[in-house]
Chain A
Amino acid sequence: MREMTLIVMIALITFFCRALPFVIFSGQKQLPILIVRLEKKLPVTIMILLVLYCVRNIQFGSVSGWLPLCAGTLATVLIHLKQKNVLLSILAGTLVYMLFVQKIC
C-alpha cells in the first residue's frame, strides 16, 4: 500500500512541476511580453545547463574522472561542427566515450 501511495504521489508531483508554467499563464489570452521574449532565449540556456548536468560528476583527482568525459564531449563537438549529422555525432561521441571508459581509463 505504501508503494502504491508513493508512486501516485510522485507521479502527481512530477506532473505538477511540468504543468506549473502552463497553469500560471493559462488565464491570459496574451502572454506577458517578458515571457514571449524569454520563450525564444530560454531553450539554449536550459540546454547548455542540461549538458553541464550530464557531466556534473567530472572529477580532476584521477585521469579516469575527467578524460573519458572530455574525450567524448570533444569528439561529439568536433564531429558535429564538421558534419552537422546529429545521429553520426551522437554515435561517434558515445563510441569514443565507451572506448575510454572500458579500455583506456
Chain B
Amino acid sequence: MDRFKNAVKITLPVFLGYVPLGIAFGVLLNEAGYGFWWSFLMAASIYAGSMQFVMVALLGGNDSLVSCALLSFLLQSRHCFYGLSLIDRYRKFPLLKRLYMIFSLTDETYSLMTSIQGQDEAQDDDFVFLISILNHSYWVLGCILGSLVGNLIPFDTTGFDFVMTALFITIVIDQYRNTANHVPFWIGLGCGLLCLVLLGPDRFLLAALAASVVMLIIKERGVHHA
C-alpha cells in the first residue's frame, strides 16, 4: 500500500497535467463528431498528446494514409531517443510487461523515470510499472471525461497547461543539482536554442535531439581516448 501511495504522489503532477489536457482533447474530438468510444480508443491505444490533437484534424480530413503516416512518424520520432537511457532498466521486466512499459513511454512517463533514477524506488519493478499504468489511466480518464462532461467546466482554465512545463522545469533543476557533470545540460540548452532560432518552433526538436546526441557521443569518445 505504501508503494501505491508513493506512486500516486510522484505521478500527481502528471495527473494534474493529463486530466485537463485529456479533457481538452475529448471536447475537441466531440466537436469534430467523434464521441466517447473514439476518445477512449485513441487514448488507450495511441496514448500521445500532441499526436492525438493533430489526429482530430486528420480523422475528418482527406489526406492520404501515406502522408498521415509520414506526418505521425515525424511528430513521434522524438520518442526514439527516450529508450536509449532505459534499455537496461526495462530489460528486467518479463516480455509482456516490458512491451507495455515501452508502449506507455510518453514524454511525461520518461521524465518521471529519469527523475527517480538513483533512488531506491527506481530499483523496485512494481513501483516503476505502477508509474506507467497510473499515467496511462490518468490520460484515458481525462480523454473520456472530456467526451462526456467536457463542456460543463464552469471556470476559466486558460493557462493550466503550464503544469507540464513546470514539471519538466523542476525535473531539470533536480537533475542539474544531482550531477557533477553539467556538460550534458549545456549541450542540450545550446543545441536547443540554436535549432529553435534556425529552424523555428515547429521543426527544431528532432534536429536538436540528434545534434545533442552526436555532440555527447563526440565528447565521450574524446574522453575515452584521452
User: B35 interface residue, CB < 8 Å from A?
Assistant: no
Report the count of interface residues on B (CB-CB < 8 A): 86
User: Is there an interface contact between A41 and B192, defined as CB atoms closer than 8 Å?
Assistant: no
User: B134 interface residue, CB < 8 Å from A?
Assistant: no
User: Is there an interface contact between B213 and A42, defined as CB atoms closer than 8 Å?
Assistant: yes
* Chain A residues whose C-beta falls within 8 Å of the C-beta of B159 in the assembled complex: 68, 94, 97-98, 100-102
* Chain A residues whose C-beta falls within 8 Å of the C-beta of B111 in the assembled complex: 47, 50
Report the count of interface residues on A (CB-CB < 8 A): 65
User: Is there an interface contact between B170 and A44, defined as CB atoms closer than 8 Å?
Assistant: no
User: Is there an interface contact between A73 and B169, defined as CB atoms closer than 8 Å?
Assistant: yes
User: B69 interface residue, CB < 8 Å from A?
Assistant: yes
> Which listed residue, B65, B79, B170, touches A89 by the CB 8 Å rule?
B170
* Interface residue ranges of B159-191 to A (CB < 8 Å): 159-160, 162-176, 179, 181, 183-185, 187-189, 191
Chain B interface, >50% SS class: helix
A8 to B188, CA, bound (A): 34
* Chain B residues whose C-beta falls within 8 Å of the C-beta of A41 in the assembled complex: 181, 183-184, 216, 220
User: B2 interface residue, CB < 8 Å from A?
Assistant: no
A8 to B12, CA, bound (A): 30
* Chain B residues whose C-beta falls within 8 Å of the C-beta of A68 in the assembled complex: 159
Q: List 18 A-B contacts (CB under 8 A).
A: A7-B45, A10-B69, A18-B83, A19-B102, A38-B216, A38-B220, A46-B188, A47-B111, A47-B114, A47-B168, A47-B172, A50-B107, A51-B172, A80-B169, A81-B173, A89-B170, A90-B13, A94-B159
User: Is there an interface contact between B208 and A6, defined as CB atoms closer than 8 Å?
Assistant: no
* Interface residue ranges of A1-59 to B (CB < 8 Å): 2-3, 5-11, 13-15, 17-22, 25, 31, 33-57
A21 to B209, CA, bound (A): 14
Most A CB contacts (10 A, CB to CB) among B77, B98, B117, B172 go to: B172
